[in-house]
Amino acid sequence: MTEAITRLDFSVLYWIQDHLRCGFLDFLMPKITFLGNAGLIWLLAAAILILTPKYRRVGIFLLAGLAAGVLVGNVAMKHLFARPRPCWLDPSIRL
């Protein structure tokens, strides 16, 4: 099963490398990715919502969802599966 997932990972990654690479996206995507690092954009959104009385409940739910996502994804699943990323296995892939 793990080998099938790895093959799928590589087929998708190679397709992206062959069909979606361009100078504009190579410039733009790291900046968009940076916004999601450590969930800062989502924490900021939750803080703004919590500070707005009309949307306070939504902000609290967003914060709870973020916490659940961190616990399930980053704490439990990453350690449960512990698979290396395909770009770590094939150094010819530029991110």
Domain spans in the chain, listed from the N-terminal domain onward = 2-89
Residue 33: the pLDDT is 87
> Cβ distance 66 to 38 under 8 Å?
no
Q: pLDDT for 24-35, tens place per residue?
A: 988 998 898 888
Residues of the chain with pLDDT under 70: none
pTM over 0.75: no
What pLDDT is stored for residue 74 in this prediction? 87
